[in-house]
């Protein structure tokens, strides 16, 4: 007898979905209101917010807001109508692609409607069934979904373990000698959960031994790392060895969309074969117009990145001095590791938000192992040193309560 799909879904809501009734609107799908920044309104009260990837503080910069307003007034949200290939191209799209290419040091660039969608589609486009993908075990979900589409072999290497990456490259090389395919290595510039940079330089060095191409997702690196903000490859001095560079507008740009940069012929191939762009409406002109202004500020106003790192360094060094474990992060992403159950984590977050007025993201199982809690802080250029000091003091108080068992419960906090 055939199974009813809906009945199966109702019985198995997933590891996070089983808590939907208790958590929706507070722990999951919360509503932050007011101007985007370090202080926003949550459930009617102002909270110190460490939960937005507005790294450079551009979301509410006056010039950015003006560009967004002017773009919407000049073009409307409908323009251009259609996919780029058919009727949705514009001079502004091409200008942004050219300026991004120059910024990240690549020959050409293709704009993408959404970062997640672009990564999935690009992986699918770049490889065929004869090729082998070698990828980091802790790659972002968009990479994992792209890898799942691959109809050929894929080998995963332990997170940031270059020795294991080499071992998987040996396996991949042996296989492609039989299939006649190629090898695509995929990793991240900055891993968004731990905050550690990918071992890009060491992986690039493996090209001396193996024949492969390197695809890097630098969502958290673009704008935050490197002398000019061009990302993790620039930071590690190996940008030339990154064959396909992916950046998103959802983080430092404080926008929507993304881009892929590479050799001119590779980008041309993507432009004419990448299904998510061929068969989808072009990035709306107001977003392109706004991205141009953001990129201009990123290039010409280095003080944004400098202020970001002043806040980041103060936050991370202060947390470590206060005895907190923040792991191997060498980026702005600041995870704070604690031990506790899911109910304890919800009680802790409830206390943090309601009694200390601090809003930050909570990460628990199944994203991390059972018994682990991560409070993930994202510093920005518009936070202040007072924000940093207050947060460290507040965290010291809540971790004392956690260790004393004050958050213990059999069920998640009721809100």
pLDDT value of position 376? 96
Alpha-carbon gap, residue 285 to 279, rounded angstroms: 18
Tell which wins on pLDDT, 206 or 27: 206
Residue 205 and residue 168 share a domain:
yes
No. of helices (H) and no. of strands (E), the chain: 15, 14
Smallest CA-to-CA distance from 253 within 64, 51, 33, 32 is with 64
Q: Which domain holds residue 334?
A: 12-49+303-403
Residue 175 and residue 296 share a domain:
yes
Q: Mean pLDDT over all residues of the chain?
A: 94
Question: Domain holding 72: CATH number?
Answer: 3.40.640.10
Tokens of 293: 């202004």
Domain final position from 283, 300, 317: 300
pLDDT value of position 415? 60
Judge whether 18 lies within some domain: yes
Residue 277 and residue 234 share a domain:
yes
Backbone dihedral angles phi then psi of residue 212, each to the nearest 5 degrees = -155, 170
Rg (CA), the chain: 22
pLDDT value of position 411? 65
Residue 232 and residue 265 share a domain:
yes
Residue 23's pLDDT band (cuts 50, 70, 90): confident
pLDDT value of position 413? 59
Tell me, yes or no, if the pTM score tops 0.75.
yes
Question: Domain holding 394: CATH number?
Answer: 3.90.1150.10
Backbone dihedral angles phi then psi of residue 324, each to the nearest 5 degrees = -85, 150
Judge whether 412 lies within some domain: no
- DSSP state at residue 252: T
Tell which wins on pLDDT, 15 or 107: 107
Alpha-carbon gap, residue 6 to 8, rounded angstroms: 5
Q: What Cα–Cα distance (Å) separates residue 202 from each residue in 45, 187, 378?
A: 47, 12, 27
Residue 365's pLDDT band (cuts 50, 70, 90): confident
Residue 312 and residue 186 share a domain:
no
Identify the H or E element spanning 110: strand 108-112
Residue 367's pLDDT band (cuts 50, 70, 90): confident
Beta bridge partner(s), residue 97:
none
Per-residue pLDDT tens for 296-309? 999 999 999 999 99
Residue 13's pLDDT band (cuts 50, 70, 90): confident
Smallest CA-to-CA distance from 111 within 285, 229, 232, 265 is with 285
Tokens of 33: 């209101």
Does the structure show a pLDDT above 90 at 25?
no
pLDDT value of position 293? 98
Alpha-carbon gap, residue 187 to 362, rounded angstroms: 24
Judge whether 104 lies within some domain: yes
pLDDT value of position 16? 76
Domain final position from 244, 277, 300: 300
Q: Residues 74, 78, 79, 80: what is their CA dihedral angle, to the nearest 10 degrees? A: 170
Domain final position from 260, 281, 300: 300
Residue 279 and residue 203 share a domain:
yes
Residue 280 and residue 191 share a domain:
yes
Residue 359 Cα to chain centre, angstroms: 19
Backbone dihedral angles phi then psi of residue 130, each to the nearest 5 degrees = -80, -20
Instruction: Identify whether the C-beta of residue 119 lies closer than 8 Å to the C-beta of residue 246.
Output: yes
Tokens of 15: 């590891």
Alpha-carbon gap, residue 66 to 52, rounded angstroms: 21
């Amino acid at each position: 007898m055939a199974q009813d799909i809906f009945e199966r879904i109702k019985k198995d809501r997933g590891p996070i979905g089983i808590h939907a009734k208790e958590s929706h609107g507070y722990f999951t799908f919360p509503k932050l209101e007011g101007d985007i920044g370090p202080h926003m309104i949550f459930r009617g009260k102002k909270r110190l917010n460490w939960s937005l990837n507005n790294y450079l503080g551009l979301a509410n910069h006056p010039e950015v807001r003006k560009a967004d307003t002017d773009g919407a007034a000049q073009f409307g949200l409908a323009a251009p109508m259609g996919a780029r290939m058919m009727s949705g191209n514009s001079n502004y799209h091409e200008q942004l692609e050219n300026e991004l290419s120059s910024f990240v040091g690549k020959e050409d660039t293709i704009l993408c409607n959404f970062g997640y969608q672009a990564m999935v589609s690009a992986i699918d486009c770049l490889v065929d069934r004869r090729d082998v993908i070698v990828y980091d075990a802790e790659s972002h979900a968009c990479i994992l979904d792209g890898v799942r589409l691959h109809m050929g072999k894929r080998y995963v290497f332990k997170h940031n373990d270059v020795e294991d990456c080499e071992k998987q490259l040996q396996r991949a090389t042996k296989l492609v000698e039989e299939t006649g395919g190629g090898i695509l290595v995929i990793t991240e510039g900055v891993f968004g959960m731990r905050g550690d940079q990918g071992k890009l330089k060491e992986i690039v060095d493996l090209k001396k031994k193996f024949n492969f191409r390197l695809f890097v997702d630098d969502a958290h690196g673009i704008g935050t790392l490197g002398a000019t903000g061009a990302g993790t490859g620039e930071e590690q001095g190996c940008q030339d060895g990154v064959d396909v560079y992916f950046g998103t507008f959802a983080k430092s740009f404080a926008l929507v969309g993304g881009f892929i940069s590479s050799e001119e012929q590779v980008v041309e191939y993507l432009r004419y074969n990448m299904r998510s762009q061929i068969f989808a409406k072009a990035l709306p002109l107001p977003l392109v117009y706004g991205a141009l202004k953001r990129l201009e500020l990123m290039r010409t106003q280095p003080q944004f990145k400098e202020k970001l790192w002043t806040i980041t360094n103060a936050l991370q060094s202060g947390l470590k001095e206060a005895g907190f474990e923040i792991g191997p992060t060498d980026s702005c992403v600041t995870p704070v590791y604690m031990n506790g159950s899911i109910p304890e984590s919800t009680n802790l977050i409830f206390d943090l938000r309601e009694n200390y007025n601090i809003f930050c993201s909570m990460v628990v199982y199944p994203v991390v192992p059972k018994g682990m809690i991560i409070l993930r802080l994202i510093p920005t250029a518009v936070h202040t040193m007072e924000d940093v000091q207050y947060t460290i003091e507040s965290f010291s108080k809540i971790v004392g309560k956690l260790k004393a068992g004050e958050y213990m419960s059999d069920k998640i906090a009721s809100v």
